[in-house]
Chain A
């Protein structure tokens, strides 16, 4: 397996498996060489952007600008950034409620993401979805879904539709692959197993990516999941190829996912990825994290995915101090602007209450209207 292709020194804590335990993982590429340094710097920027966005998000939540549940992506940035880099812009993506990172990595402007959480009309869903439900048609992001596991049958359906459109309607080989993300806790939902069976059975080109951060709220993977050290065995049981990928390393994610995605595209088959990672913050904003030790948290924090990519660039002389400083400043400004913009964005007008219930206007229902971010855009 390709985990830690630059092995760090001994790790006393391993939330994913008992050290030395064998897994059924076939080797992924093991590559983490530098691609185009400019591209790498872009990924670093994207990860820093998510980090800054999420840090500011937590402040806004404390200030009660954001309501409801809010799940922070800090620690897992390499996954959203590496995975979106490995697919084509029109490959559909669907994820769970921890979705800000995916939205930003996919190209949603910070202001539309933030305004959604502020419950403002400028939000990506006009303030009708909230933190857990980010949608972006332009960037082929099919949500943000709040019910644990429900998005995986949807993701399989997205891939089914891609294949159907190409092969059945247009009579050409399948060209797209869907990415469907879930958490390790979601693995225990029946819907996921039904979806994997269908994907395996019907040759559906969907890559199911388990962002395995070792915890489902306060339940460690070993307390909630059989074969927790070897979750790809579940996918293998459905005839789906499984891979273990180091989700703390953007380069590994990119290289491994590129190989996996292209194989799925070529063969029009599903795949399952055990994307090993760690969430640095609590499950949601109200989690005191009593179920894990500071020692464990510190160990993972010292292996920060942003730090890793930065180091990689620096060691190769591709990240001059001034460039990094400038990048950080731009990001701070952009997020600050996003917050100001979201503050200024009006609340949704009351007419929105009866918009988007049905496509056609009838009775009190006013049909639909697109959010600001999509207005004046020609989406086919």
Chain B
């Protein structure tokens, strides 16, 4: 990747803000610097966003750039793609990625294929963003992890931040990217607070970040489950197991080099992915680790996914369904022959 403007150390101070504020800062800063950027989606303007991510943006940018749409995902996603083909830079908010399924045709069949199908003539610089993943007791229709479905498609990029700082930096990169970016947020994390730099900064796609250093086992994850991994690593440390937690930040492109580097050091690898296991980003990572680290591994790559069932509603079932810290600890112990 050539976009390598990492955080400027001389930049104005960081402060603690929420994940949703970090997203809004990125969008607002980009809208100030580039008039081609606009936001559309259900309830984004007058209602201030179903989850208040776009709060106040209508006041600053007006109704021509913060656009309320009807409940019409296929229609407005397609419309935004047409606008992107003309050179605008739309940000499409799906209230939830679960609702993007009715827009599967434009987002999968048009956006990621336009450049190729037109022989390089029409690109599609667009960001689709919204809440992804279970955890809010919304039942199976509203709890989709779309990364398993959508990351299969070539021609798109997929960013899945795990903390406010990354949310802002990855969103800025997503908006400036010339290709379609699927940006997966988590409703469970929107209120999460963390230090975020004030100015604008880019976090390059395809560069994993070591969230915790360790020597005994590599934990590979992205998005909300990174936080489960950090909890698990803290727990396992008490047992004398030192985990290295790698946050992929984007899964397309996938920073396999960082994973390989870590696994060569630890010789064990557990992948934690909240999508279902069959044909998932987690299975892809495992396959690539087996390919690149065959001689380095002291056990096969273990995987922790959401349970292979429709997402349950009941609180206890949903918690157990997720790749939670307890299940991660069990997988690590098993992988390290300490079960």
**Could you list which residues of chain A lie within 8 angstroms of chain B, going by C-beta atoms?**
92, 94, 123-129, 133, 135-137, 142-143, 145, 147, 150, 152-162, 164-165, 167-169, 190-191, 193-195, 197-198, 201-202, 355-360, 362-363, 368-371, 374
Pairwise interchain contact B117-A128, C-beta atoms closer than 8 A: yes
Q: Is B278 an interface residue (CB 8 A)?
A: no
Contact at B119–A123, with CB atoms within 8 Å? yes
Known A168-B35, A362-B206; further 5 A-B contacts with Cβ < 8 A: A137-B121, A153-B106, A158-B82, A197-B70, A371-B119
Of A135, A162, A168, A358, which one neighbours B86 at CB under 8 angstroms? Answer: A162
> Which residues in B have their C-beta under 8 angstroms from that of A161?
82-83, 85-88
> Does the CB pair B115–A368 fall under 8 Å?
yes
Output the least CB separation between B39 and chain A (Å): 13
Assembled-state Cα–Cα distance A356/B116 (Å): 5
Are B88 and A156 closer than 8 Å at their CB atoms? no
B155 in contact (CB, < 8 A): yes
Q: Is B11 an interface residue (CB 8 A)?
A: no
Which of B83, B85, B120 lies in contact with A371, CB distance below 8 A?
B120
How many residue pairs between the two chains, A and B, have CB atoms under 8 Å in the bound complex? 172
Evaluate whether A195 and B83 lie within 8 angstroms (CB atoms) in the complex, with A168-B35, A169-B36 already known: no
Kindly state the separation between the CA atoms of A359 and B67 in the bound complex, as whole angstroms: 27
Once the chains are docked, how many angstroms separate the CA of A127 from the CA of B119?
A: 8
Chain B 225-239 interface 0/1 with A at a Cβ cutoff of 8 Å (1 = within): 000000000000000
User: Which residues of the partner chain B approach A123 to less than 8 Å between Cβ atoms?
Assistant: 119
Q: B77 contacts which chain A residues (CB < 8 A)?
A: 153
Q: Is the CB of A125 within 8 A of B119?
A: yes
Q: Are B120 and A126 in contact (CB under 8 A)?
A: yes
B117/A143 in contact, CB under 8 A? yes
Q: A154-B110, A168-B64, A191-B105 are in contact. Are A374 and B115 (CB under 8 A)?
A: no
**What separation, in Å, do the CA atoms of A356 and B121 have in the docked complex?**
9
| Interface residues in B111-132 (C-beta closer than 8 Å to A) | 114-123, 125
A379, chain B: closest CB distance, angstroms: 9
Q: Is B288 an interface residue (CB 8 A)?
A: no
Contacts of B36 in A (CB 8 A): 169
B80 part of interface (Cβ distance < 8 Å): yes
**Given A150-B110, A191-B105; A133-B81 close (CB under 8 Å):** no
State in angstroms the CA–CA spacing of A143 and B75 once bound together.
Answer: 18
Show the binding face of B for A, using Cβ within 8 Å.
1-3, 35-36, 38, 64-65, 67, 69-70, 72, 74-88, 105-106, 109-110, 114-123, 125, 154-155, 157, 177-179, 206, 253
Residues of chain A within 8 A (CB-CB) of B84 are 157
Distance A202 CA – B70 CA, assembled complex (angstroms):
11
Say whether A153 contacts B122, CB under 8 Å. no
**Residues from chain B with Cβ under 8 Å of A167 in the complex:** 64
- Chain B residues closer than 8 Å to A358, beta-carbon distance: 115, 155, 157, 178-179
Q: In the complex, what's the smallest C-beta–C-beta distance from A274 to chain B, in angstroms? A: 21
- With A158-B83, A165-B88 known as contacts, the answer to whether A143 contacts B106 (CB < 8 A) is no
Bound form: Cα–Cα A154–B157 in Å: 21
Name the residue among A133, A143, A194 with the largest chain B CB count within 10 angstroms: A194
Given A150-B78, A168-B64, decide whether A201 and B70 contact each other with a Cβ distance below 8 A. Answer: yes
A150 to B119, Cβ gap below 8 A? no
Residue of chain B at shortest CB distance from A116: B119
Contact across chains for A160 and B82 when beta carbons are under 8 A apart:
yes
Report whether A360 and B119 are in contact in the complex, using a CB–CB cutoff of 8 Å. Answer: no
B75 touches A133 (CB 8 A): no
Q: Among A125, A159, A165, A191, which residue has its beta carbon within 8 angstroms of that of B75?
A: A191
- A359 and B123 contact, CB distance less than 8 A: yes
* Distance (whole angstroms) from the CB of B153 to the closest CB of chain A: 11
B79 touches A195 (CB 8 A): yes
Report the minimum CB–CB distance from B273 to chain A (whole Å).
21
Residue in B3, B88, B178 whose Cβ sees the most chain A Cβ within 10 Å = B88
Give the docked Cα–Cα distance between A190 and B75 (Å): 8
Find out whether the CB atom of A360 lies under 8 angstroms from the CB atom of B179. Answer: yes
| Contacting pair B121 A198 (CB below 8 A) | no
The answer to whether A374 and B121 touch across the interface, beta carbons within 8 angstroms, is yes
| Alpha-carbon distance between A201 and B63 when the two chains are bound, in angstroms | 13
Tell me if A359 and B115 are in contact (CB < 8 A).
yes
What residues on A are CB-neighbors of B120 within 8 Å? 126, 355-356, 368-371
Rounded to whole Å, the gap between the CB of B89 and the closest CB of chain A is 10
Closest chain A CB from B127 CB (angstroms): 14
With A135-B121, A143-B118, A194-B75 known as contacts, the answer to whether A357 contacts B154 (CB < 8 A) is yes
- Contact yes or no, B69 A154, CB < 8 A: no
Q: Which residues of B are found within 8 Å of A190, using beta-carbon distances?
A: 74
Whether A357 contacts B155 by the Cβ 8 Å rule is: yes
Alpha-carbon separation in the docked complex, A314 to B64 (Å): 52
- Residues of B near A357 (CB, < 8 A) are 115-116, 154-155
Cβ–Cβ < 8 Å partners of B82 in chain A: 94, 142, 153-161
Q: Which residues of B contact A356 (CB under 8 A)?
A: 115-116, 118-120
- Chain A residues, CB < 8 A from B83: 157-158, 160-161, 164
Chain A neighbourhood of B154, CB < 8 A: 357
Task: For the complex formed, measure the closest distance between the CB of B280 and the CB atoms of chain A, giving whole angstroms.
Answer: 20
Asked whether A191 and B78 contact (CB < 8 A) given A154-B110, A198-B72, A358-B155, the answer is yes
Distance in angstroms between the alpha carbons of A202 and B83 in the assembled complex: 14
In the assembled complex, how far is the CB of residue B210 from the closest CB belonging to chain A, in whole angstroms? 22
Check B80 against A157 for contact (C-beta < 8 Å): yes
Cβ of A362: which chain B residues have Cβ within 8 Å of it? 1-2, 206, 253
Nearest first, the 3 A-B pairs at minimum CB distance are A157-B82, A153-B78, A194-B75
Report A-chain residues with C-beta under 8 Å of the C-beta of B85. Answer: 142, 154, 157-158, 161
**B117:A154 contact, CB within 8 angstroms:** no
Q: How far is the CA of A133 from the CA of B105 in the complex (A)?
A: 16
Write the chain A residue with the least CB distance to B3. Answer: A360
Q: Indicate whether A198 sits within 8 Å of B75 (C-beta atoms), given known contacts A153-B81, A160-B83, A161-B88.
A: yes
With A147-B105, A360-B2 in contact, is A157–B121 under 8 Å at CB? no
